[in-house]
Amino acid sequence: MVTMQRRGKAKIEVRSDHLPPHFHITSPDSSFMVDLYTFEVIRGQGRVDELEWAIEWSKSHATELRAKWKEIND
């Protein structure tokens, strides 16, 4: 598991995990799994503000996130 970004107690993580390529948003109040290519929530629930922040950040760092996914999952 690699933490790519933090904001308060929320963090964006890339894990050695199953397909499709995705990242996790975790905090004490949230747990989401988000597709790395469509940025759609695959599953999860939690605070909308944490989800919005993480998706905004991930869209602007998509290349970095996808490279990390490939590095730890290939």
Taking only the tens place, the pLDDT of each residue in 53-71 is 999 999 999 999 999 999 9
CA gap 49, 73 in Å, rounded: 29
Q: What is the pTM assigned to this prediction?
A: 0.93
- Contacts of residue 65, defined as CB under 8 A and 6 or more positions apart, other chains included, come to 4, 12, 14, 23, 36, 58
Taking only the tens place, the pLDDT of each residue in 10-46 is 999 999 999 999 999 999 999 999 999 999 999 999 9
